[in-house]
Structure 1
Amino acid sequence: MLTEKTVKELALALGEKLTNAGLVATTAESCTGGGVAYAITEISGSSLWFDRSFVTYSNGAKTQMLDVDPELINTFGAVSKEVVNAMAIGAVKNSDADIAVAISGIAGPEGGSEEKPVGTVCIAWYNAHSGHKTESYLFVGNRSEVRTQAIRLALLGLIENADALGSAQI
């Protein structure tokens, strides 16, 4: 089962899916700080199916690099489905990729609130061919564990996205 695989195994599986489907991916990351891109670029030959990564830790970076409307951030907060969806769309728009994952969250140990406690992570997957999927999670663990869980789910979602697109193109 994919959920039991390591981050490296997931990145390998993603590369295979993207290569077979003729697709290219990009990432837009906040709380994971480029962790998804790091996992992907650990795979030799990933430049064939991975275009670039946007590490947009600050709100200003989200607006400057990914064209996220500042009003979305003001209204919903950086850790929201609305903002990660805009980040994912902006990542595809500002790259040569077909699909993207975007992540924003509160990895801790500080920064949480009653509404958005530490461990809250929003992830969006977007593809230029058939739209998006956005989810919100509440992970348990320390900062490193929250980030690792987010990276694993981001990769799993990209694999599912590549599967769906690959099947649609056949």
Structure 2
Amino acid sequence: MAEELEAALPDDVCDLAERILGAAKEAGWQLATAESCTGGLLAALFTDVPGYSRVFDRGFVAYSDQAKCDLLGLADDLVANCGAVSRAVAEAMAAGALDRSQAQLAISITGFAGPAGEDDEEGLVHLALAGADGSLTHREEHFGPIGRDGVRIAALRAALDMLREKLDLTA
């Protein structure tokens, strides 16, 4: 069970993270993360679970637009034209994390945790999962104005759920 973040995160989130790491280990896969609005929480959660150091390859925290381009190889015009919180950017972040790691699965999270700007929707989160098999899955969530912590935890749950589905784990 996750030791450090356990007190801060709901039990179901920690338990699911451990199950995902176990399934990835059985499959012989490594995982990578590309996070914006969650600021590395998913990577921290994965590294808090003992016994799975060979399963989690690396995490990218790309909070700013420029970091998304520098760290994950996104084109400047992609972020400028589509917006940092968009399907296209989430998919490019996941693909970039996959390309820049040894992982077989890379998950990305980008969103407006809040408070959102005038033209932004608080609680809007885009997630993408890229697989070494060429698969690419996207999910758009509208969590609403539930506060920064609420959006970040909801985004973690959504990311873990996408990984759970990919690894064919039961709920």
TM normalised by structure 2 equals: 0.88
8 Å Cα contact 2:14/2:45 also seen in 1: yes
After superposition, residues 140-155 of structure 1 pair within 5 angstroms as 140=144, 141-155=146-160
8 Å Cα contact 1:7/1:152 also seen in 2: yes
Of 19-28 and 104-113, more deviation after overlay is shown by: 104-113
What are the superposed Cα offsets for residues 57-113 of structure 1, whole Å, 9 maximum, x if unpaired?
Answer: 011110011001111111110000000100000001001101010010000023252
What is the percent sequence identity of the aligned residues?
39
The answer to which structure, 1 or 2, has the higher relative contact order (CA under 8 A, 6+ apart) is 1
8 Å Cα contact 1:29/1:57 also seen in 2: yes
Shift of 1:53: 0.3
2:15 is the alignment partner of 1:9: yes
After superposition, residues 1-170 of structure 1 pair within 5 angstroms as 6-111=12-117, 113=119, 116-140=120-144, 141-163=146-168
For the structure 1 residues 112 and 21, does the alpha-carbon distance in structure 2 shift closer, same or farther, using more than 3 Å as the test? farther
Unpaired segments of 5 or more residues in structure 1? 165-170
Of 7-16 and 24-33, more deviation after overlay is shown by: 7-16
2: CA distance, partners of 1:55 / 1:109 = 20
1: CA distance, partners of 2:101 / 2:30 = 10
2: CA distance, partners of 1:76 / 1:52 = 26
How big is the alpha-carbon RMSD for the aligned residues of Structure 1 and Structure 2? 1.5
Shift of 1:5: 6.4
Shift of 1:162: 2.4
TM normalised by structure 1 equals: 0.89
SS of structure 2 residue aligned to 1:163: coil
How many equivalent residue pairs? Answer: 159
Unpaired segments of 5 or more residues in structure 2? 1-9
2: CA distance, partners of 1:112 / 1:47 = 42
More helix by share: 1
2: CA distance, partners of 1:112 / 1:163 = 40
